């Protein structure tokens, strides 16, 4: 039986990599992609998803318009890294249009798809968690119908990439992140910011990966040129990845959803999100002392099988 996935994405470069990873996996069925604001405004995300699906020849997959902004926080984007359009500022005038979007909106679509496949769906969250928070207002019992939840977001060592102590997806909507980590009690796996930094892909592999003579590889090389250039800078290598290579954040959460054996080491701990601190708003808090008295604990990814990861990435561009 194929693994059924619903993907929530704010398609920038690493989201595109993650979606292509799932599309290439023979054991995966993507039930739908819910587009969210985040790396770039929602309209750009919608076009970006269509571009990814077109190059993979999978425009049959359902795509839905999700939320355009956070519950309470001010809106943020990551154009300095992903490009203002989210895909390296290299638009394709011939890309498929939004007429291919499903008419149903993202949140009710998510409710319907999960209810139709209760107990079989893994939700992969690669964007701010706004839509996931709204879903539980419509159907509070929905998280119990999920097989698992995989999140790229949060941090473990108060090391930020957007604010002093906050990771982008959680800082973009702290209230949503708080609600999701409080009310989703299905098995939950988190790929936090520091973990993705310490498991970066060597540049020698990236060069080999993008050198494949395929349409997908040419597409990925084009859309990732800006972010790859930023990531290769001496400052980024020193401060972010400790000189190890390229950090493709979202692909780690996706790889875990595709292959259970991808995660080789994790820790189980209760977590929450800080909502009030001047410097710590949006920071994920790990409750090692169990002072929160939370029954539900998440699996924080610590180590993964990088060789398996490289093979999955190579296959995604074939």
pLDDT grade for 1, boundaries at 50, 70 and 90: confident
- State how far the Cα of 175 lies from the Cα of 7, in Å rounded to an integer: 20
C-alpha angle with apex 89: 81 to 160, nearest 5 degrees? 10
In this prediction the pTM is 0.96
Structural contact between residues 244 and 200, judged by C-beta atoms closer than 8 angstroms: yes
For residues 8 and 247, which has the higher predicted lDDT (pLDDT)? 8
The answer, yes or no, to whether residue 242 has pLDDT greater than 80, is no
- State how far the Cα of 154 lies from the Cα of 176, in Å rounded to an integer: 12
Q: Per-residue pLDDT averaged across 89-114, rounded?
A: 91
Structural contact between residues 155 and 128, judged by C-beta atoms closer than 8 angstroms: no
Q: Per-residue pLDDT averaged across 186-206, rounded?
A: 95
SS3 110: helix
What is the DSSP track for 136-174? HHH-TTGGGG-SEEEEE---SSS--SSSSS--HHHHH-H
Q: Per-residue pLDDT averaged across 64-83, rounded?
A: 91
On average, the pLDDT of the chain sits at 94
Q: What is the pLDDT of residue 237?
A: 65
Strand partners, 7: 33, 124
* Domains of the chain (ranges, CATH numbers): 3-316 (3.90.245.10)
The answer, yes or no, to whether residue 287 has pLDDT greater than 90, is yes
Q: Per-residue pLDDT averaged across 298-312, rounded?
A: 97
* C-alpha gyration radius of the chain: 18
């Amino acid at each position: 039986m194929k693994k059924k996935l619903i993907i929530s994405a704010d398609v920038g470069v690493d989201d595109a990599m993650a979606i292509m990873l799932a599309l290439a996996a023979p054991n995966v069925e993507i039930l739908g992609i819910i587009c969210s604001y985040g790396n770039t405004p929602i309209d750009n995300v919608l076009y970006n998803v269509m571009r990814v699906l077109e190059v993979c020849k999978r425009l049959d997959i359902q795509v839905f318009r999700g939320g355009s902004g956070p519950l309470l926080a001010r809106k943020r984007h990551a154009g300095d890294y992903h490009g203002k359009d989210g895909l390296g500022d290299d638009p394709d005038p011939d890309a498929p249009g939004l007429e291919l979007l499903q008419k149903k909106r993202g949140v009710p679509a998510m409710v319907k798809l999960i209810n139709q496949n209760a107990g079989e769906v893994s939700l992969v969250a690669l964007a701010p968690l706004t839509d996931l928070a709204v879903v539980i207002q419509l159907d509070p019992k929905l998280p119990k119908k999920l097989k698992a939840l995989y999140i790229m977001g949060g941090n473990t060592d108060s090391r930020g990439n957007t604010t002093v102590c906050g990771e982008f997806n959680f800082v973009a909507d702290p209230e949503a992140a708080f609600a999701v980590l409080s009310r989703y009690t299905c098995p939950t796996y988190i790929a936090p910011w520091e973990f993705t930094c310490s498991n970066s892909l060597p540049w020698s592999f990236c060069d080999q990966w993008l050198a494949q003579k395929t349409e997908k590889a040419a597409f990925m090389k084009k859309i990732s040129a800006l972010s790859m250039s930023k990531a290769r800078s001496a400052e980024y290598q020193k401060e972010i990845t400790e000189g190890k290579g390229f950090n493709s954040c979202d692909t780690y959460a996706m790889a875990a959803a595709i292959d259970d054996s991808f995660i080789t080491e994790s820790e189980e701990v209760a977590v929450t999100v800080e909502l009030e601190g001047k410097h710590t708003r949006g920071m994920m808090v790990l409750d090692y002392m169990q002072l929160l008295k939370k029954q539900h604990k998440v699996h924080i990814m610590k180590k993964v099988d990088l060789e398996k990861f490289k093979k999955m990435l190579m296959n995604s561009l074939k």
